[in-house]
Amino acid sequence: MTRIFAALALLAASTAIAPAQDAEAGKVAFKRCSICHAVGDGAENKTGPELNGLDGRKAGAVADFDYSDAHKNSGIVWTEASFKQYIKDPQAMVPGTKKTLSGIKDERQASDLWAYLSQFNANGSLKK
Q: Report if pTM > 0.85.
A: no
CATH 1.10.150.120 assigned to 21-117 = no
Residue 14 above 90 pLDDT? no
Check if the beta carbon of residue 99 is closer than 8 Å to that of residue 91.
yes
Residue 128 above 50 pLDDT? yes
Q: What is the pLDDT of residues 25-35, one digit of tens each?
A: 999 999 999 99
Q: What is the pLDDT of residues 43-60, one digit of tens each?
A: 999 999 999 999 999 999
Domain ranges of the chain: 21-117
pLDDT at 15: 44
Angle at which helix 80-88 crosses helix 107-117, to 10 degrees, equals 130
